Amino acid sequence: MSINLIYLIAGAAMFLAAVLPTVLDRYAVSAAMVLLVLGMGIGLLPLPEGMRLDPLLIRPQVERVTEFTILVALMGVGLAIDRSFEWRRRSAWASWSPTWRLLAVAMPLTIASVALLGWGLGVAPAAALLLGAALSPTDPVLASDVQVEGPRVETPDGGWEEADDDGDEALGEPVDEKDDVRFALTSEAGLNDGLAFPFVTAAVLLASAGSAGSAGSAGSAGGAGSWWAGWLAWDLVGKVVVGVVVGVAVGWGLARVAFRSPRRSLRLAEQGEPLLALAALVLTYGVSQLVGGYGFVSVFTCGLTLRAAERNHHYHRSMHEVVQRLERLLTLIILLMLGMAMTKGVLDELDWRGVLIALSLVFVLRPLAGWVSLRVRARGADLPGGLGRYEALATAFFGVRGVGSLYYLAFAAGEHAFVEERWLWSTAAFTILVSVMVHGALATPVMRYLDRHRDAART
């Protein structure tokens, strides 16, 4: 494959990325499905000399590209959510209750079930835990078909203003204010990417403890057995708290400058300069990582805090549009590369165990864990946070797997050498393939059915 052909394919793929969301809006086909299949087709062609797609050889590049893509997606998700969260109000906690239940119940159940299934199939305990942790977060990058559309502002006459597919303004009711399914999936994806980190760390620590124990050092083995105490206090709790505090603090400070600075030159909202969103995500992530917090959690909470400031200002929509376009471009790159890698050897280590784990996760484990977590309503169906039967089923099922899984595998493999690393990559790639195809095909018809059901219930 010549460099000129690469330019041609890349240009055609970028064009598809721009037009597919609108073209496929009426069909049960997602842009992610098309781009992934396109990448698999490109992978059948001879690659230029020196171009490598083996994740073990390009692990640092995979980690950095997926890391930045997730950060961009998390900022976009934070800016897109219209539903406010005021921690002093009980009604706010109730309206976010599907999110808390998915995070506190569904996510640990998913991690445990995947890890136990892998362990039962003969996978080493540390590798099984890593697989469960890497496959547990739902993806803010590939789940756009079942998420909220973007920030909306209230008009003086009490209506709601948004941008339609042509960029024109349209009036309507904000989707996520009434659509608990889209809101729950969006907010869950915004938070669980960061909350998977403690369990990835636990897998690395468990693998390191096993290596230390096998070395025959009694002192090392004794120290290895006590790692869980520090993990529980700092990795599971402390870093999450630090991440939230940093995100709120940076978001509040930037919002004060952008909207209310005494100097007009610093009031970026009046100038309509949308690059503040990118500056905010990079700044927040850097600060959080420096002080030891989870940067993913910080970026999402920073986006929420920015969105909460001057909620009806059109500036939020401008920032979201910039982030969304960058996210689409990065997603294009990752999907094409992943598709190419699938037909260039990344699935070579896939065996029946990996197939069983992937199918079980998509069709059984995540839906069951989500269903269990969502069956308890928030003080009644007529109050915020209550999900009906069909809404709970859809929310439980649409746990899209994607870029986050690739990042966590690359991160963990960089921290410790896992013997099963190639098998882990094959299993994760196959799981993403199944998730993209199944969830992508069902998202449009299922969400349309729920919309019709909701409209009928209101009339």
Q: How far apart are CA 165 and CA 20, in angstroms?
A: 12
Q: What is the pLDDT of residues 337-361, one digit of tens each?
A: 899 999 999 999 999 999 999 999 9
Residue 379 clears pLDDT 80, i.e. is over it: no
Q: Average pLDDT of the chain?
A: 84
Contact predicate 74/147, CB 8 Å: no
Span of 194-208, 279-293, 369-383, 400-414 with lowest mean pLDDT: 369-383
In angstroms, rounded to a whole number, what is the distance separating the alpha carbons of residues 251 and 230?
Answer: 29
pLDDT for 383-434, tens place per residue?
445 678 888 899 999 988 889 999 999 999 999 999 999 999 999 999 999 9
Distance of CA 53 to the CA centre of its chain: 23
Tell me how far apart the alpha carbons of residues 70 and 378 are, in angstroms, rounded to a whole number. Answer: 30
Could you tell me where the beta strands, DSSP code E, fall in 109-194?
A: 153-154, 160-163, 169-171
Q: Which residue has the higher pLDDT, 225 or 146?
A: 146
pLDDT number for residue 339: 93
CA separation, residue 374 to residues 178, 367, 394 (Å) = 17, 10, 11
| 358 within 8 A of 434, measured Cβ to Cβ | yes
Averaged pLDDT for residues 25-49: 81
Rounded to whole angstroms, the Cα distance separating 408 from 130 reads 8
Positive or negative torsion for Cα 203, 206, 212, 214: negative
Model confidence, pTM: 0.89
Q: Kindly tell me if the per-residue pLDDT of 381 is higher than 50.
A: no
Identity of the highest mean pLDDT range in 217-221, 233-237, 375-379, 406-410: 406-410
**Contact (Cβ atoms closer than 8 angstroms) between residue 337 and residue 53:** yes
